[in-house]
Every structure is written in C-alpha cells, then in structure tokens.
Structure 1
Amino acid sequence: MAKLTVKALESLAPRQKPYEVRDDAEPGLWVCVLPSGLRSFVWRYRFHNKTKKLTIGPVGLAEARRMARDARNLRDDGTDPALAKRAQRVAKAEQARQLEREIKKLPEQDDVETVIAAFIERHCEPKLRTGQAVARVLRKDVAGPWKGRRLSEITRADVHELLDGLIDRGAPVQANRLLSYLNKLCRWAVSRGIVAHNPCDGIGKPSQEKSRDRVLDDHELRLVWRAAGELGWPFAPIIRLLILTGQRKSEVAEATWSEFDLDARAWRIPPERVKNKRLHTVPLSPQAVALLKNLPRIQSASDLVFTTTGKTSVSGFSRAKRNIDVAVKVLNAGTQIPAWTIHDLRRSAASGLAKNGAELHVIERVLNHVSGAFAGVVGVYQRHTFADEMRAALDAWGRHIEQITSEKAAGDAELDTVEA
C-alpha cells in the first residue's frame, strides 16, 4: 500500500478479524484495524537481530509517525524502544504509588488536628499557663471529638453539639471557654486562608457566668493563713505570699530565685511570665522578705523557689485547697467559711489595700492591670511607675496581715468565738 493519508486511514473498514496496513511513508509503521473499528498504530523493528514490536496506540497519523521516528532514533542509539517504554511505564506506576503513599501520610491542610497543632505552635506559648490551658482544651475537647474531620466541613450545628456536651457534663463555664478558644482558632484559620468561613460566627455564650466578687474579710484571711501553715512546704509559703503580694497564683508558684532582690526588697517578674507581657516589679514588704528568707533553697538548674523535684514547679493546688478548707473548719470551731477560691486571695489583697488607704491607680499597679486607670491613651503616656506608692501600700498591707495573724490576734479571735 502507498503512503497513508488521514482520509485513507478513516476509510479503513473494520472486519471480523483484526488486520494491519503498512504506512510506506514511515518504514516499520503499521496501523492495526480492530473489529470494533479502533485504529491502533505499531512500529515493527529489529534490535540485536530480533524482530520486535512497539505499540504506539490509537493516536493521530502525524503523531504516530513522530513517535515512530523517536523510537527509531532510540534504536539507532542502542536502546530498545519497547524496553524503554516498559521502564517508563513502571517508573510512572511507582511514582503514582509513592504519591499515593505521601497523600495518605499527609493529612489535609484543614484537617482539624493539623490546624490545631499549627495554631498551638504559633499562638500558645508553652511557658504561660494561659497558653497551656488553651492548648489543653483544644487538644482534648476539639481535636478529640473531631478527630479525622476537616475544619472546612465543621458546621454551626457541630459547634453547638460540642458545647452542649460540656454543659450536659456540668461544665457550663468550661463551655464558654471552649467557644472562646475555638472561635480564636477558626478566625486564625480564616485569616490564613485555610478555611473560608468560621463555624463559630453567630454563636453566643452557651451559659451565663456570674462575676466573682468574693473577698475574704480579716477573720477569714486569718483562718486561711493559719490553715495554710498546717500544710507545710511548699503550699504554706505559697498561700501566704499570695496574700502578702496580691499576685497571680502562677506568678508566685513558678517564681525563680533570680527574680528576687531581697536586699532591695523587690521582686522583678519577667515579661514572659506576666499576662500582659510587661516586666512587673513588685515591692516586697518586710513580712514577705522574712517569709522568703526562711524558705529552703533547693539547688537545681531550674532555680525554682517552690519545687519538690528540683525540675518543675509545684502542682496539686486543688488538693491543697481542700486540705486548707478542712483545717479552716477545725480552726473555726467546726464552721466552714463561705466558698472561696485561691484567686479570691488576689481580690482580697486588692480590697485590703483600698481599705488601708491605697488609691485605685496604685492598686492597679500592684496588680499589674493595664485596664482601668491605665487603659487607652493614659496607658501610653503615663510612665510614672508609682514605685514608692506601691511600696508604701504593700508595706501597710504587710503590717496589717502580721497584726491579724499574730498569736495575740488569733487568741482574741478564739476568745470571741467561745464567748459568742
């Protein structure tokens, strides 16, 4: 047959059995016409004195001729075209299998666990209790229930179901915290282009929280001070230092000796341990200095003031609080005082400073608040440290605590109880 043309190729009618037609324009190129009407090209050649065939497939005439020429060039360069094609096919198959393995190994970009892990790494500082709390809640209460799910598929109904579960467990306040943390996570994911929408949008707090205003009076502070003494190391000095300084529990419990200058009666809490990320210098009353000087020094690389291992700060505040309550009841002639929390000691110190005459802006400096009197423009331009005023206020508070917790004061209180 002469040189094939496109028209001649299309005119090849199918038969009951496959048949081949040679293309004289390209030596070795044949077209095979199948009973189905399919036209598939092959190139026949000799390699190392053996007749071989390379299947080109159902392509156009021009493409078949080009592929036949490429195959001839390979053969002339000493490569068997059929073996090269087989090797290429095997390589592609292995590449596809490798890609499939990688896809299975790598989660989707918006996989809930992946998004949470990235958020925690970038926004939850491990040294801060707040960062640890956010990470713990997201891992336990979000990544756990939504394991294997994509954040883009999470709906508002899913969020409500998550929150309802906490409320049904009797943790309404925790449900509020979870919504807050989850909302921050989702807003961050939207801002990064990981997901298109925030499923928390339009969801209000699942429960109403009561603002805490519990303040321990002098009698109650005396009981807590004395009850803490029953615990011994390390919770007795921690509780007492909380009362004397009005600082946060984590700031006291995780303090290091290098932060204290007892000669200057100053406690400098570094920014990384402070909620507002600002260096906070707390004047120490003589009572606080005496307490610190009487503490045992545990030699360790951690330099922690309150530690039982030498490596980590103390834990077990919940149990310590229960033990204090038991001791308070005994000291109070079998009567328990109204419910209180360790954080209430900070509020009680602030209230006590006010009753002793300290002004509001001085109290806020002691507590290291950046809201209230130091919010907005005032906070930007007000650079006076109020160090002297803070020292005077805390010294007066220290004297007051010493007075109400002295043996004489305790004896008078017990006498009043008996007479009553």
Structure 2
Amino acid sequence: MTQILTTKSLDALAPATAKRYEVRDQKVNGLHVRVSTTGAKVFYTMVRPNGSRRRIKIGPYPAVSLADARRRAMEIARDVELGEFEKPSAVSEASAETLGEMIPKFIELHAKPNTKDWKRTESVLHKFDGLKDRPIDQIKRQDVTKVLDDIIANGTPYRANRALSAIKKLMNWCVMRGDIETSPVALLRPPTREVQRDRVLNDDEIRAIWRQAENEDYPFGPFLKLLMMTGQRRAEVSDMRWSELNLDEGIWELPASRVKNARLHIVPLPPQAVNILRSLHRFLDSDFVFTTTGRSAISGFGRLKERLETILPENTPDWRFHDFRRTASTGMAKIGVMPHVIDAVTNHKSGVVSGVGATYNRYTYLNEKREALEQWANELMGIVQKPSATSADAK
C-alpha cells in the first residue's frame, strides 16, 4: 500500500488482523511504516548501500514524528548516495516485534511445550500490557521496574516476584533466539522477600467457607467442597475431567500432564466426594467437570475469594486457596495419618516411594490413601456440622 502519509492517516491506521502490514510514503522514497497486530507503528526506510538492499529502522510512531522520520530517511538516503553510509543500526525482522507480539510467540513456542503452568505465566505477563506496543529491543530495565513497583503498590508484592520471573524467562528466550542481544532484566532481583506460608484454616473458618459453598451454585460450590475434601491443588480440582474419574470404584486418576511433579497421581475419593460428583450435571460433549461454557475449565477465582471474604470476620488473617491443601494435610496429621501417607495423598516428591517404583506401581499406598481421605472427610463433616464458636457464645 502506498500513499502520502499524514499524521491523520497514521493515526487512522488500523491494527493488523493476521500479520503486520506496511504503508509506503509517496513523498519520501523508501520510507514506510509497519503496523503490527497490536496497533504499534514503526518507521523504516529501505536503501541499497553497495547494491545490497537493506531495511533501516528509524523508530516508533508517535515517539518519532512523521517529519522527523522523513528527515532521517532523507539523511540516510543522502549518506548512501555520497558513499558515507556506515551500517547504521539495522535490525532484524524479529527484533522489530513488539512485546505484545512476542508474548504469544513465547507462550506457543516455549511455555506450552515446556511448562505445565503456562496459563499462569501467560496471565502474569499481562501485567506488562502497558509495554505491549514497545519494540522488544527498546524495553529498558526501568520500564520493567516501574511495572513491578505498581504491582507492589497495589498490595500484591509476591505477584511482583512472579511477574519478574515471567518476564525474565521471556527475555532469556529472546536472547537465545537472537531477537535481542542482552536481557534488560538480567540483573534485576526479586523485589520482595518471600516468607514460607504456614496458614491453616481454623474450624470456624472451615465451617464458614463450607456453608458459603452450599450457598454457591454450580460450579463453584461443589468445586470448593472437593478442594477442601481432597487436599489436591486448585488447578487440579478446577480442571478435573470426567474421563479421569471412575465413580463406581471411587478413583480419580490424575495424568502426569496435569500435576506439578509430572507424576501420575491416583486419588481415592471418599464416599462424600463421590456423592458430590454424582449430583453434578454434565455439559453435552464436554469432558470438564467444572465449567460454565463446556469448552474450558472454570476461572474467576479472585472474585470467588472476594465472595468468601465477605462471610469471614474482618480480622481474619490473609488466606489463599492453597491453604485448603495445607489444612487437609494438617487435619490428617492430627487424626493420626502417617506422614508418608499424607505425602502420598498430596503427591509430594518427599514421599518414600519414587523413581521406577513410583512409575510402575501406579496404586502405591492406595488403601492407605483411601483410609486417610475417608478419615479426613469424616473429620471435615464433623467440623462442618458443629456450631461455630461465635454461634455458641451467642446462645
């Protein structure tokens, strides 16, 4: 596409739909603007020093104005004509891409094939959406630091650590591919010192959350109950598939591709859990147990947590869904379940069976795990059915 570029026409250029496109300027030979799928616009000029065709990057619009881009394009053309061209900062096709274009590439080509938690990485990288129109080779350490400072200011300091980890992985991947020469965040350290959590819900908190789960409609009500009852990870429960379940035998078989330690995990389901699952309706042609669309598992856990917090006392200490898992482990320990059985229930690598034995003996400690989870389910029901301390005091 060729036209006489104006500031008005530049502002009106729509984002690319499939891949970036170019608009050439009729006024200055060689000058053109590239428009990406994110709407970012970058000026380039095309010249032939020594007969070799070369694309020279001028800079992003509107940081570089149209007048400045034309002036710079003409200077480069003059230098070529006078033989004074000395390889200005020509950049490869890949390095001209913006962060917004590079993130989906990183997720598809690296994160998905190599990490089971790629969805969380993708979500965390959205924290850098303010930089998505910036060419990847123009992102500076200060830009990333500002994003991290904003995350901390919003009261989520640990998320700043996760965001830094994600952007570091992306930048290192870009360096490995040759998209950039060095990572701008290589020297950055996690901004927040993390303290290992030991939060366990007390009986009143368990009762309050369970009763709220009973007030929640499908899918979040039964999801919460199974999360508390099984002691498994949030993503493992929320992404549960019907094909993983054998309700007649009370077995949930988690494939290695869905667990953190990449090891097949058998969860014996107590009768209470089986009853919850039998009571659920099933989406037509969908394998997801907990879904609102039939095409994907549930999400929106932040909003769910906000709803739960409205029924807890104002002075309730900070909690997370992962604390349900620690609560189940602690509860099983209190009622006499042996530590190695608890490790087997929660699929911790610290368990006594590992290596080849764990690979081939898929039902290691099955009976012990079943007994432990049934004991915990009974204990949980006992806690839930007791009146809360505040209710007893009120009487």
Instruction: Say which is worse superposed, 155-164 or 178-187, in terms of deviation.
Output: 155-164
Q: Secondary structure at the match of 1:124?
A: helix
Which residue of 403, 406, 413 corresponds with 2:382?
403
C-alpha contact (below 8 Å) 1:361/1:373 kept by paired residues? yes
Give 1:336 shift: 5.9
C-alpha contact (below 8 Å) 1:127/1:273 kept by paired residues? no
TM-score normalised by structure 2 residue count: 0.68
CA distance in 1, matches of 2:183, 2:156: 24
Which residue of 112, 135, 145 corresponds with 2:131?
145
CA distance in 1, matches of 2:332, 2:223: 19
Q: Secondary structure at the match of 1:187?
A: helix
Q: 1:145 to 1:306 in 2, by over 3 A?
A: same
CA distance in 2, matches of 1:180, 1:148: 20
1:326 is matched with 310
C-alpha contact (below 8 Å) 1:287/1:402 kept by paired residues? no
Which residue of 285, 294, 301 corresponds with 1:317?
301
Give 1:207 shift: 1.6
Which residue of 276, 297, 300 corresponds with 2:284?
300
Give 1:187 shift: 2.4
Matched, 1:380 2:355: yes
CA distance in 2, matches of 1:143, 1:416: 50
CA distance in 2, matches of 1:415, 1:159: 50
Which residue of 96, 101, 105 corresponds with 1:118?
105
Q: 1:290 to 1:156 in 2, by over 3 A?
A: same
C-alpha contact (below 8 Å) 1:231/1:320 kept by paired residues? no
1:358 is matched with 337
- Please tell me whether Structure 1 or Structure 2 has the larger radius of gyration of its CA atoms: 1
C-alpha contact (below 8 Å) 1:353/1:363 kept by paired residues? yes
Q: Deviations over 1:65-100 (max 9, x none)?
A: xxxxxxxxxxxxxxxxxxxxxxxxxxx99xx9x986
Q: Secondary structure at the match of 1:281?
A: strand
Q: 1:147 to 1:414 in 2, by over 3 A?
A: closer
Matched, 1:199 2:184: yes
Which residue of 154, 158, 164 corresponds with 2:149?
164
Q: 1:117 to 1:125 in 2, by over 3 A?
A: same
Structure 2 runs not aligned, ≥5 long: 1-46, 60-90
CA distance in 1, matches of 2:317, 2:393: 17
2:21 is matched with none
Q: Deviations over 1:84-127 (max 9, x none)?
A: xxxxxxxx99xx9x9869x99x9732334354333211222299
Q: Secondary structure at the match of 2:253?
A: strand
Q: 1:415 to 1:292 in 2, by over 3 A?
A: same
Percent sequence identity is: 38
Structure 1 runs not aligned, ≥5 long: 1-91, 330-334
Alignment root-mean-square deviation, CA: 3.4
Letter in 1 for 2:127: D
Give 1:180 shift: 0.7
Which residue of 163, 171, 176 corresponds with 1:178?
163
C-alpha contact (below 8 Å) 1:286/1:395 kept by paired residues? yes
Give 1:415 shift: 6.0
- Number of equivalent positions: 310
2:371 is matched with 392
Q: 1:154 to 1:223 in 2, by over 3 A?
A: closer
C-alpha contact (below 8 Å) 1:249/1:342 kept by paired residues? yes
TM-score normalised by structure 1 residue count: 0.64
C-alpha contact (below 8 Å) 1:163/1:179 kept by paired residues? yes
Instruction: Say which is worse superposed, 178-187 or 318-327, in terms of deviation.
Output: 318-327
1:287 is matched with 272
CA distance in 2, matches of 1:128, 1:232: 33
Q: 1:324 to 1:155 in 2, by over 3 A?
A: closer
Letter in 1 for 2:346: L
C-alpha contact (below 8 Å) 1:159/1:200 kept by paired residues? yes
Q: Secondary structure at the match of 1:268?
A: strand
Q: Secondary structure at the match of 1:306?
A: coil
Q: 1:187 to 1:415 in 2, by over 3 A?
A: closer
Letter in 1 for 2:110: H
Give 1:301 shift: 1.6
CA distance in 2, matches of 1:217, 1:305: 29
C-alpha contact (below 8 Å) 1:127/1:272 kept by paired residues? no
Letter in 2 for 1:393: A
CA distance in 2, matches of 1:380, 1:230: 44
